[in-house]
Chains A and B, each alone.
Chain A
Amino acid sequence: MEGIGLKIFGAFLTAILAFTVGMFYGGLRRKITARVQNRVGPPVYQNFIDLMKLQGKQTNIAHGFMGHMAPMWIIIAAMTVLMFIPILHNGLWFDNLTFKGDLIFILYMMVFGSLGMALGAGQSGNPNSAIGVTRGLSLMVGYEIPFVLSLVAIMIQFHTTSLQDLMNYQYQTGRWIILDNPFAFLAALMSSLGMFRYSPFDIVGAPAELASGPVSEFGGKYLGTMMTGGSVFAFIKLVLIVDIFLGGAGNVHMSGLAGTLIGLGELLLKTFLLYMIPVFIGLVSPRFRTEQAIRFFWKWPTFFGILAVIWAVLHPVGS
């Protein structure tokens, strides 16, 4: 039973880590945005305060069954994906269920939350929410194409569909996959801009246009739960790209607590630097229209994705 107890402890630890880092990054983004716009801005822990306020609300507005389920689905999707993504290479407690699911599963599970959100927003009956959802789903068709192209390229280049195998390869050779297939990284990075939904791709929430879109009818505990799920998802997206292309984290040849801590530091550094790319692009970009956003993803990112697949066929690495 000790094994299972440790697993559950590890799962909770991973969830807390993902939640804290995600929320903290969100606050940091707000701060950076404010400083660039020459404002003082909220403190970096503002997101935690917001969450506490939302969860502490006395009255909650519920819009029926799907509205009740939507935040749940987001949390379920976020937690499940989190369990199947290796956080550290040889961390003490973070290996969770990473051997039990592969990239295709992760890809599909990530959509689960969006669908729940879409259904919940749909039941509220707010036209703005529905418009936001249609935009979000359309945008998804846009950025999934280059993202899947890049993942397919990696899968056929390394002859594995498992994230853990990719990390092991980078750990053993000390060579990041970004060097083996730079085009795949470019395609994935560009499509991750769409996944984060910051400007110029903030067409789903679209402040001042759709009254915050799909979430406009959610408040109190529902919005708080959604915010938690969203923060975890932000962390997941970052870790996914770091794991696949940037060598993952925890590559120091040290075991025990010290190794884990250094690994976590490495992870935070890499994810933070990666996170700054969509944030800074968002700071200087106006908003696309939906069709422009979709077209954008079908042009250069898809081109790089196709290049990546060709590159992968020409330079196979796995046996």
Chain B
Amino acid sequence: MNPIINILLVLFAGSILAFGIDSINRKWTGWVAFLSVLLATFNLLSQTQASDVVFSLGGIRLKWGLSSLRLYFTYIIIILNLLAFLYSIDYMKGKARLGYFYSAFLLTVLGMFGVVISKDFVSFFIFWEIMTWSSFLLIIYNAYYKIKTEGLKYMIFSAIGAYAMLTAIVFVYHFYGTFDIATAIDQGVFSFENHIYIPLFFALAFAIKAAIMPFHIWAPSAYADSPMSFTSVFSGAMSKMGIFGLLLVLSTYYALHNPQAYIFTQILAWLGGITAAMATIYALIQTDAKRLLAYSSISQLGYIVVALSTGTKLGVMAALYLAVLHAVFKGALFMVAGAVEKQAGTTDMTKISGLIRKMPWTFFVALVSVIALTGIPPVGGFVGKWLLYEALITESNNYFLVIVIFFSSTAAFLYAYRFLFGLFLGQEEKETENVKEAPVKMLIPMLILALISIVTGIMPGLIFKPAAAAMREIGFENVNWEMTSLSNVWGNQTDLSLIGLFIAAVFVLIFIFLTFKGKKNTRYVGTKDISSSGELWKEGENWTFQQDFYKPFERAAAPLYKYKMNKIWEDFGNALEAFFNFFRRIYTGNGQTYALYVIGFLVLLLLFKDYIFR
């Protein structure tokens, strides 16, 4: 049987089964869900050369299939989900409504997979909606009381995106007479020459899903309030559906480099850059680790959009690479936040600190992922940053965008450090005395993700290979890549294997020196035994530095903090409300007024009868 059908069936059956089995034995729910994703993974890995599935539904020809670009995103979805489901088993232990959670989660996976395999607009839209609605159920799983504020934001923005997409699809069929994506692209749907609103409507839907400013305001709370095992997928894989869509929209531009689309890509690039910068400076003032990661996630998506919009080989390669890497390290970081939440009860950084000795493995994962996030060599994040900068500097004219990006990635050090310090470093307080390391089933997925980060830092070719195949599909021929080194169009290169080797060599030397020199006389002390300029620590005194962490930076960057997108949308909403309130007055509830309307309408008809009844 075709693996596509198999995967869809397995996920769908898993969703129903998980819902049913929850009422029989709650212990099995997570395992059933995990097994169904595992089966889907095996199906995918066993047969990557699937033929297209074509069938007719109500006279519309639906077409599902895989190709190298689709396969690339399928790998992100399936592998991250597999790890997230394994993580879920222990993370969700003891929580209510497990059946609801897992069945919605599996439906979301089904939706994501469906979006990627759809080769026609109708099934694309259907799967897109399945994904959106089931993820909405997961967002309100924890915060049911927030349904009217935060849940509604997500719903409204998703609905706007969906309607925009639906309108665009109708227009596509009207003007081009086809629902097939490849055919429509060949006929120039996304060429920006005529019917410019079609690509714009599509881009709106995708930008909303990728949380690009100004459509991002649903994202911080949606990411932070969902269960963390879902958020790692939500931010890691589901936001990539927006990137996947944007790749489709821009594929005409990549192939032809038509000047009509150029302006659009420039606007998109700047939107991405501003998203990256603004989300970063908001991330570093958060006191909740989950919200910090949520903002960080938005900012990382900004980088990817910038890379996409360059439209050059290196840039698109950077986008595809960052898409994977972001899924890897942000998935791991959200899992870390979930592990801390599970073990310590909260992720509020003003309440907990100094977990490094209690949760060393979790800290290790957090450390590697943070290094990947900030893009410091020799971990995989550096490759993405390198590609992005080289693409912007050598292949585009957006020199000032480089600065915006560089500003945000330097400021990213601030929140990255805030995250590590807030949860793991600093004073060990009484409140966290009894915290234990996370369960093994939660640690394994995190460690696997950390390992991927490390390996890709030395051998990025592992990702370049499928990425190059995917790029061939959207109009880039002969993409050069090497397993362990990077090179730009000016012929400059960076050799990662040498760097890795050198760092390893120095590390070993200095490690031996520092560890064994005077080992016997080295005394390990706690966090209360510190130099304090003569003041002695008294029992119960709190020396934790967690409040107003970056106050000086906030003061320096005060003008940037003035602009709040939330406020602008709120004003917009209020204006709309006032506007519609005015029209509501038509319905007075008075019969006489309505009679007047009818008479007025008839009078109008009579007056203009020559024009109307010709």
Given A123-B425, A137-B417, A141-B553, decide whether A105 and B499 contact each other with a Cβ distance below 8 A.
yes
- With contacts A58-B518, A126-B531, A152-B402 taken as known, whether A137 is within 8 angstroms of B413 at the C-beta atoms is yes
Stretch in A127-135, A176-184, A262-270 with 4+ CB within 8 Å of B: A127-135
Interface residues of A in 45-96 (CB under 8 A from B): 55, 57-66, 68, 71-72, 75-76, 79-80, 83
Q: If the complex has contacts A119-B425, A155-B393, are A291 and B556 also in contact, measured as CB distance less than 8 A? A: yes
Contact present for A137 and B414 (CB under 8 Å): yes
Interface presence of A287 (CB below 8 A): no
- Inter-chain contact count A-B, CB under 8 Å? 224
Instruction: Name the contact of A124 in the complex, choosing from B410, B527, B544, B549 (C-beta under 8 A).
Output: B527
A202 at interface, CB cutoff 8 A: no
B525→A63 contact, CB < 8 A = yes
Q: Are B376 and A313 in contact (CB under 8 A)?
A: no
- Asked whether, in the complex, the Cβ of B377 is within 8 Å of the Cβ of A109, the reply is yes
Among A24-32, A219-227, A245-253, which stretch is in contact with chain B?
A219-227
Question: Roughly how many angstroms separate A60 CA and B520 CA in the complex, as a whole number?
Answer: 9
The reply to whether A138 and B552 form a contact with Cβ atoms under 8 Å apart is yes
Tell whether, in the assembled complex, residue B543 and residue A309 are in contact, meaning their CB atoms are under 8 Å apart: no
CB–CB B413/A221 < 8 A: no
Q: Determine, out of A157-165, A236-244, A277-285, the stretch whose residues face the partner at the interface.
A: A157-165
Interface centre among B375, B417, B498, B543, by most A CB within 10 Å? Answer: B417
Tell me the complex Cα distance, A138–B549, Å: 11
B24 at the interface (CB under 8 A from A): no
Q: Contact at B390–A211, with CB atoms within 8 Å?
A: no
Given contacts A60-B521, A75-B510, contact A294 B552 (CB under 8 A): yes
With contact pairs A80-B499, A108-B377, A291-B555 given, residues A126 and B530 touching in the complex (Cβ less than 8 Å): yes
CA distance A47 to B158 in the complex (A): 63
The size class of the interface chain A forms with chain B is 35 or more
Docked complex Cα distance between A72 and B503 (Å):
11
Q: Is chain A's interface secondary structure helix, strand, loop, or mixed overall? A: helix
Binds A, one of B3-11, B65-73, B168-176, B353-361: B353-361
A100 & B494 in contact (Cβ 8 Å cutoff): yes
B374 within 8 A of A: yes
Contact with A along B479-521 (1 / 0, CB 8 A): 0000000001010111100110011001100110111011001
Are A140 and B410 within 8 A (Cβ)? yes
User: Do the beta carbons of A148 and B403 come within 8 Å of each other?
Assistant: yes
CB distance from B329 to the nearest CB of A (A): 15
Q: Does A34 contact B (CB under 8 A)?
A: no
Decide if B421 is an interface residue (CB 8 Å cutoff): yes
CA distance A165 to B514 in the complex (A): 37
- Contact call A111/B530, Cβ cutoff below 8 A: no
Q: How far is the CA of A119 from the CA of B368 in the complex (A)?
A: 13
Among residues of A, the one whose C-beta sits closest to the C-beta of B422 is A122
> Mask for B448-482, Cβ within 8 A of A = 1, else 0?
00000000000000000000000000000000000
Question: If the complex has contacts A141-B553, A148-B403, are A65 and B521 also in contact, measured as CB distance less than 8 A?
Answer: no
A156 touches B393 (CB 8 A): yes
Q: What are the 6 closest A-B residue pairs judged by CB atoms, nearest first?
A: A125-B527, A290-B552, A122-B425, A294-B556, A291-B556, A291-B555
Residues of A that sit less than 8 Å from B by CB: 55, 57-66, 68, 71-72, 75-76, 79-80, 83, 97, 100-102, 104-105, 108-109, 111-112, 115, 118-119, 122-128, 130-131, 133-135, 137-138, 140-142, 144-145, 148-149, 152, 155-156, 159-162, 165, 211, 216-217, 220-222, 225, 289-292, 294-295, 298, 305-306, 309, 313
11 cross-chain CB contacts under 8 A: A59-B521, A104-B494, A109-B377, A115-B417, A134-B549, A134-B552, A138-B414, A142-B556, A144-B410, A161-B492, A294-B557
Binding site for A on B (CB under 8 A): 354, 356-357, 360, 367, 371, 374-377, 382, 385-386, 389-390, 393-394, 399-400, 402-403, 406-407, 410-411, 413-414, 417, 420-421, 425-428, 488, 490, 492-495, 498-499, 502-503, 506-507, 510-511, 513-515, 517-518, 521-528, 530-533, 543-545, 549-550, 552-553, 555-557
